[in-house]
Amino acid sequence: MRRTIIAANWKMNNLTGEVKNFFAEFGDTAVNSENEVVIAPAYPYIALASALSAGKNVTIAAQDVYPKAEGAFTGMVGGKMLADLGVKAVIIGHSERRRIFGEPNELIREKVKFVQENGLHLIFCVGETLPERENGSMFDVLKEQIYSAFDDNLTLAPEKITVAYEPVWAIGTGVTATPEQAAEMHTFIRRILKERYGYEDSRILYGGSVKPENIQGLMANEDIDGALVGGASLKASSFMKLVNFQAVK
Ligand code: 13P
């Protein structure tokens, strides 16, 4: 049985006061939930979020990492810093990093390797753009993203390898993939994980305009093991509803 993960990606949002308010309101929500709760604040707020969520069943994640322990890498945050801050999971390959910052598959592969070497839970993002969906190449796009990162590069147990399917056209747009569209892609990813890597127990999350109003429909499918949430995770009131949701498969 794969445990559902509800993960918050705060991106470049939530300042000190908002982080404090969030955890004050969030309280013991994760302790009382059946779901695994992950929150990824921006780097400067990781320490605060770690402190405010200590002992409350929340896994604090980073939104990225530079794949070195430490050293002369101006502007970057590396492995030792994440460990020092209590980070247990890292999001890699988010479409905003791929597109806005031009991260190529080779660098993403290095990061996937690094996250595993450091024993951290990997949350690896894949997803197609709207033109790629419209011209029918979405399966090939996903294959390339997954193969280039995972082939001969998976060292951690399946439970610590999570894939997030985030169609770029659904991120921050209010347009959600239909449960059928999401299910088709998740089943495709599930088959690759099983047949190519022998990984049966990895979780596959859906991301892209997930809200309390649409989570139930999306999570009904067997192959959808949770959600990676941007906008609807910023406020505790809405994220709590997502964390408290119970999957009916
Ligand atoms: P939204 O939930 O704001 O669409 O963002 C999804 C996302 O990119 C999570 O990583």
- Contact call for residues 124 and 95 (beta carbons, < 8 A): no
For the chain, percent of residues with pLDDT exceeding 90: 96
- 144 as an active site residue: the answer is no
Is the CB of 210 within 6 Å of ligand 1? yes
Kindly tell me if the per-residue pLDDT of 248 is higher than 80: no
Kindly tell me if the per-residue pLDDT of 247 is higher than 90: no
- 106 as an active site residue: the answer is no
Query: 42 CA to middle of ligand 1, Å?
Result: 14
- Contact call for residues 95 and 69 (beta carbons, < 8 A): no
Helix axes 179-197, 138-150, angle to 10 degrees: 40
Q: How far apart are CA 154 and CA 147, in angstroms?
A: 11
Q: How far apart are CA 39 and CA 61, in angstroms?
A: 6
- How many CB atoms sit inside 10 A of residue 16's CB? 10
Residue 166: CA atoms inside 13 Å, Cβ hemisphere, count?
29
User: What domains are defined for the chain?
Assistant: 5-243 (3.20.20.70)
Query: 72 CA to middle of ligand 1, Å?
Result: 32
121-142 confidence digits (pLDDT tens): 999 999 999 999 999 999 999 9
Cα separations in angstroms, 126 against 29, 31, 44 = 29, 29, 26
Kindly tell me if the per-residue pLDDT of 246 is higher than 90: no
Catalytic annotation, pick one of 94, 103, 128, 132:
94
Q: Average pLDDT in the 199-219 region? A: 96
Q: How far apart are CA 175 and CA 128, in angstroms?
A: 14
66-90 confidence digits (pLDDT tens): 999 999 999 999 999 999 999 999 9
pTM: 0.97
Q: Which two tokens stand for residue 170?
A: 């659904």
Query: 154 CA to middle of ligand 1, Å?
Result: 26
132 CB contacts (<8 Å, ≥6 apart)? 138, 141
